[in-house]
Amino acid sequence: MAVTHCLDSNVLVYAFSKSPRDAAKVRIAREWIAREDWGVTVQVLQEFYVNAVRTPHELGHEDALAMIEEIAHSRPVGVIDLPLMRHALQLKSRYRIAYWDAAVIAGARRLGASVLVSEDLSHGQDYGGVRVLNPFSPA
């Protein structure tokens, strides 16, 4: 199933942050999660888990696992395979970005998303047909 947006792990992590300094980001992240037009990749779910259970977020293992299962059952989830890795390596080379960021972009494209919702890349930048939208950036 194609989607218009792909969420990056930082959006998922902020949705469950308990830090008072993240209050504005929590609200924005939850608004994105409530939408119906997004998907993620397995890599994004992996990154979510690793970051969510660490300090300062410290979401419990069971809570993080429940969130992953809920997403996996309700949203399109793109798999990681050799063709996706090859595409990511091409994006890494072409745009001079980190491999992991390139893999998220490649996954977004595979899902059919034209927008990657993330704070980790340049807001507004188009990476081979996937434009980055930083939802936490001032308008």
Residue 60 lies in a domain: yes
Instruction: Please indicate, yes or no, if residue 139 is contained in any of the structural domains.
Output: no
The CATH number for 115's domain is: 3.40.50.1010
Name the pTM for this structure. Answer: 0.93
Q: Which domain holds residue 68?
A: 5-133
Q: How much is the pLDDT for 56?
A: 78
Contacts of 17 (CB under 8 A, 6+ apart): 25, 26, 56, 57
Number of domains in the chain: 1
**pLDDT tens per residue across span 77-132:** 999 999 999 999 999 999 999 999 999 999 999 999 999 999 999 999 999 999 99
Tens digit of pLDDT for each residue in 30-85?
Answer: 999 999 999 999 999 999 999 999 887 788 999 999 999 999 999 999 999 999 99
> Cα separations (Å) of 53 from 10, 49, 50, 74, 99?
13, 6, 6, 22, 23
